[in-house]
Copies of this chain bind each other. A is one copy, B any other.
Amino acid sequence: MKIVLAYSGGLDTSVLMSWIKETYNAEMIGFCANIGQEDELKGLNQKAKKTGASKIYIDDLQEEFARDFIYPMLRAGAIYEGQYYLGTSIARPLIAKRMVEIARKEGAQAIAHGATGKGNDQVRFELTAAALAPELDIIAPWRDDRYRSQFPGRQAMIDYCAAKKIPVQASAKKPYSMDRNLLHISYEAGILEDPWYDSLDPKKNRDYFTTLSVLPEDAPDKPEFVELEFVKGDCVAVNGTKMTPLQVMKKLNKLGGKHGVGRVDMVENRFVGMKSRGVYETPGGSILTFAHRQIESLTMDREVMHLRDSLIPKYAELVYYGFWFAPERLALQALVEESQKNVSGTVRVKLYKGGIYVAGRKSKHSLYNPHIATMEEDPTKAYNQNDATGFIRLNGLRLRVNSTVNGAKNMAKLK
């Protein structure tokens, strides 16, 4: 049996590599994707082999991640439960897709991962596999009683590695867990399990939750302005320089991080049915989401926006739950693409002490016509105020009939 394992070289996946190999008597193929987590990947090949892998794939997927996953999601304006920029959610389908490709190339029968049985990631991995390779088996040792009883805690893993001569570095355990990629870094568990705990308190957390961005208090005292150019809903240039999606992400992560923007601390609802608490830094993603809304406000038709807005919660739910490669996500994406065809122009944003503000927007596709909106004389005669009389009367007709028939008390308590 051949198994492809998502492998990082850390303690957890090293134990998995060895345990799965032994338990399933399998040939193990490691896979490590560079999706911007900035881990040390040097020496990973050798480490994997020492841990029992017959082969390891180390793929730089950053550009694909930005172009085919982050950008389409940004075009949709997706935010989960009004707050979360979906940084972890959107990375999982990409990783699983690549594992499926490797499994097929290598003739593997299963893919394995080290996600726990309580989280969303297991679902995202496995739904992607279900959609792209229904024939593959899934191995998820954390949902296996044998594995959980063998490794009740971190020390059992360290002992296991020592016994098996698996090379692992003893890193100090942080009082929370985290996950990083090009779009964000997330923190959860440990001290964050108390929802009353203030993750922004500089006295306690300056060293903890500031990987991609400073705390607002530590941001520069002078605002900084950034100009973003959009074409069909995608940011294609920053401050006048054309960039690939990956370059845009890196540039804006740096700028946003410097000014402390994009920090989220929330209680969220997992797909598996529980609430959990997370802290996120999404500097570049939050700037793009904000700026995208601004350029839409200028170029997008009202009814398209209102319709799309009513579907964002569903779209975001699909991404969060792991239904990226699902026909209903593709259906919504088709609607999104159609909605973006004129969403082009320039947005100027101001970054200051944790805040993102709009400082201007312009577009050749602008549907905002000052001649029509103006209170001054309109030389183009595009709008005749008298028209509003009929507009209001017909919009009110059903209300008049209703209250004539059923009484105004039907609608409000009148004095």
Q: Which residues of A contact B (CB under 8 A)?
A: 77, 81-83, 97, 100-101, 104, 116-118, 122-123, 126-127, 129-134, 140, 142-143, 145, 148, 152, 177, 189-190, 193-198, 200-201, 216-217, 223, 263, 265-270, 272-277, 293-294, 297-298, 301-311, 313-314, 317, 323, 325-328, 330-335, 337-339, 341-342, 348, 350, 352-355, 357-362, 365-370, 372-375, 377, 382-406, 408, 410-412, 414-415
Give every chain B residue within 8 A of A396 (Cβ-Cβ). Answer: 126-127, 129-131, 273
A189 to B375, CA, bound (A): 7
Name the distance in Å between A159's Cβ and chain B's nearest Cβ.
18
A328→B301 contact, CB < 8 A: yes
Can you list 25 residue pairs at the A/B interface with Cβ under 8 Å? A81-B309, A82-B293, A117-B389, A118-B372, A118-B375, A133-B408, A134-B399, A134-B401, A196-B361, A217-B352, A266-B358, A268-B297, A274-B368, A275-B298, A275-B369, A301-B398, A303-B398, A307-B314, A307-B332, A326-B411, A327-B410, A331-B335, A334-B337, A353-B355, A391-B395
Give every chain B residue within 8 A of A314 (Cβ-Cβ). Answer: 306-307, 310
Give every chain B residue within 8 A of A331 (Cβ-Cβ). Answer: 304, 307-308, 335, 338-339
For this chain, the copies found in one complex come to: 4
A132→B414 contact, CB < 8 A: yes
B360→A197 contact, CB < 8 A: yes
B401→A372 contact, CB < 8 A: yes
B275→A367 contact, CB < 8 A: yes
Name the distance in Å between A114's Cβ and chain B's nearest Cβ.
13
Give every chain B residue within 8 A of A328 (Cβ-Cβ). Answer: 301, 303-304, 307
Closest to A176 in B: B375
Name the distance in Å between A339's Cβ and chain B's nearest Cβ.
5
A272→B131 contact, CB < 8 A: no
B127→A360 contact, CB < 8 A: no
Closest to A369 in B: B401
Give every chain B residue within 8 A of A217 (Cβ-Cβ). Answer: 223, 352
Give every chain B residue within 8 A of A332 (Cβ-Cβ). Answer: 307, 335
Closest to A387 in B: B390
A351 to B377, CA, bound (A): 42
B140→A389 contact, CB < 8 A: yes
CB within 8 A of A327: which of B83, B303, B333, B393? B303
CB within 8 A of A354: which of B337, B352, B402? B352
A101-B414 contact in complex given A143-B389, A309-B82, A403-B131, C-beta closer than 8 Å: yes
- Most chain-B CB neighbours within 10 Å: which of A82, A97, A177, A270? A82
A269→B305 contact, CB < 8 A: yes
Give every chain B residue within 8 A of A266 (Cβ-Cβ). Answer: 294, 297, 358
Name the distance in Å between A313's Cβ and chain B's nearest Cβ.
4
A411→B131 contact, CB < 8 A: yes
Name the distance in Å between A110's Cβ and chain B's nearest Cβ.
14
Closest to A330 in B: B338
- Most chain-B CB neighbours within 10 Å: which of A83, A307, A361? A307
CB within 8 A of A216: which of B77, B127, B305, B355? B355
Counting from the closest, the 5 A-B pairs by CB-CB distance are A117-B385, A390-B390, A273-B397, A130-B396, A387-B390
Give every chain B residue within 8 A of A265 (Cβ-Cβ). Answer: 357-358
B358→A399 contact, CB < 8 A: no
A123→B392 contact, CB < 8 A: yes
A383→B361 contact, CB < 8 A: no
A325 to B269, CA, bound (A): 19
A352→B216 contact, CB < 8 A: yes
CB within 8 A of A355: which of B130, B270, B355, B384? B355
